[in-house]
Chains A and B, each alone.
Chain A
């Protein structure tokens, strides 16, 4: 779970850093991806694992459309509130449209390819969760490699740091924004499809992930890609461990407590920058 948190949060972190906004509709992109996966399953009996690429494409397209139709319109204005405002509205729009199209029923994929659990000694590990974790880590690794090790990744960072200067380098910043949304769509799409394996789907499920992502992004350090991974894992682990140790009803409290303590001593987050 932690790895999935990390994946979702990395996408968020990237977009937020790049656009310098707080993105309220990130969770809803996860929802869209989950519905895509569900739709493919219910119409073509396509397994969620198989539908990962489609989910990526869909969430990327939605991200790009968001950028083209809305964000780039709003970017022109001097105030970044407009951007946040629009992502907030978009979140509502997406969720309610999904409710309209799919009804508010809880959906889930039946009999997916990975199901059940494997036992190692006395411990039963849920296969979908395991798959989710491995898949998320792989996807994360791919993104990481792209951002840190390729010229395009460098250009992406450059755009984030000084957009005008990036233009003067001959970087097509508009493309970079689209690239950012694509990577974010990649993260979200993968996460959504992996989640569908074991999690239920309904129009408002994104909110849960959105909230956790915000916590993870802050914990990891705003704008730090590596931080998101570590923080995501920490949140997942702390949540599970404290569930065992001090009782499940309180499991979120240690998560937030960790978060607050980190904030006290490393206010910039684990790997945050200024």
Chain B
């Protein structure tokens, strides 16, 4: 009993110190993110930041289902594409505000998620992965031939000359795009944070380990998977809507492909799966590195940049397979404060066990 009390006290002290770090760390990050476009006035960097945030949202979307949850999606491009198309088509055809398009995109994505999930959630994760991958190509084939959504030509959105929040367009001003994507990012991360701490969050992590055992403890596996699937699809769809409105152009070949999905996966895995900050950190490293490598030595037509990029990915895989956050966790002593903040508060184990 005595022992216990001491431990509890110890715990509270640790937590409160962790809290301090968390607050400080959080504040620093917040200030940095908020002031980014003012520190870096180069529009190219802002553009990179915007794309990074966009992929980070997608990475988080993937992370909910495939990092925390147990269904390894290889085709989140499906939802990304549906989000992009929903807003683009509604906006160009009916002048409906992309914000509404975003919501409709989320609805469409969610329904597709439910439909795809219905048969495949029952099976092992690999099946879901393969199914979503196959579905990506299916959608690609369908959209390539579907006249109403612009078939292979894609959807061109008009370039409006004046900024308007309602129309999701900002003439020549990256800052506003940045804040919007940041807002969406924060929103999605808050959502996932909430989820990870909720009953649902616990359940999906348990289901990831052992579905039968979870079921025997009263967890409705299908229902929970579907809910997570919906959340995940919606988030990916939001990233897609942003993509469409930012590029002002969508076409089937470039949204419904495995590169899109892989960007999500790689962001999340590089940062550290099943962590809140992971996808963002992964995207911050992954997306700009890819762009910078291409910017520096690309363009020769000799594919040096791609060779280097492939090489970098392999090195990361070999030396940091558990993700950046995993590395932090391994060196927890030095980073105890930081890692406290990164881990969920309830997990106090130092054992990283991120097997899927």
Contacts and interface: CB of A to CB of B under 8 A. Distances in A.
Direct contact between A and B in the complex (CB less than 8 angstroms)? yes
Interface in B278-327: 301-307, 309-314, 316-318, 321-323, 326
Contacts of B321: 74, 77-79, 81-83, 85
Given A74-B321, A78-B355, A267 B120 contact: yes
Given A77-B322, A100-B303, A100-B307, A85 B134 contact: no
A80 interface: yes
Nearest to B141: A252
Interface string A244-266: 00000110110011011001110
Interface residues of A, number: 53
Nearest to A70: B314
B317 A100 contact: no
Interface stretch (A111-119, A127-135, A214-222): A214-222
Interface in B319-348: 321-323, 326
A95 B273 contact: no
B130 A260 contact: no
Contacts of A79: 269, 273, 321-323, 326, 354-356
A214 B126 CA distance: 11
B131 interface: yes
Given A86-B313, A90-B310, A263-B120, A22 B129 contact: yes
A89 B313 contact: yes
B351 to A, nearest CB: 9
B135 A260 contact: yes
A80 B258 contact: no
B262 interface: yes
Nearest to A78: B355
Given A78-B354, A79-B354, A267 B317 contact: no
B313 A218 contact: no
A222 B126 contact: yes
Nearest to A73: B318
Contact of A274 (B124, B129, B304): B124
Nearest to B131: A263
B131 A264 contact: no
A85 B137 contact: no
Interface string A56-88: 000000000000001001100111111111101
B354 A99 contact: no
Given A79-B322, A88-B262, A217-B130, A256 B123 contact: no
Given A252-B141, A267-B122, A78 B310 contact: no
A259 to B, nearest CB: 5
B216 interface: no
B317 A263 contact: no
B57 interface: no
Contacts of B120: 263, 267
A268 B310 contact: no
Interface in A210-255: 211, 214-215, 217-219, 222, 249-250, 252-253
B191 interface: no
A80 B122 CA distance: 21
- Looking at A84, A257, A268, the one whose CB has the most chain B CB atoms below 10 A away is A84
- Looking at A85, A104, A222, A263, the one whose CB has the most chain B CB atoms below 10 A away is A85
Given A22-B129, A81-B269, A99-B303, A252 B313 contact: no
Interface string B3-26: 000000000000000000000000
30 contacts: A22-B72, A24-B262, A77-B322, A78-B355, A79-B321, A81-B265, A81-B354, A85-B266, A89-B309, A90-B310, A92-B309, A93-B311, A95-B310, A96-B303, A104-B303, A214-B133, A214-B134, A215-B133, A218-B130, A218-B133, A218-B134, A222-B130, A250-B141, A256-B134, A256-B135, A256-B141, A259-B138, A263-B120, A264-B118, A267-B119
Given A96-B310, A260-B135, A274-B124, 12 more contacts: A70-B314, A70-B318, A78-B322, A81-B354, A81-B356, A83-B321, A85-B316, A89-B311, A95-B303, A97-B307, A99-B302, A218-B127
Interface of A: 16, 22, 24, 70, 73-74, 77-86, 88-97, 99-100, 104, 203, 211, 214-215, 217-219, 222, 249-250, 252-253, 256-257, 259-260, 263-265, 267-269, 272, 274
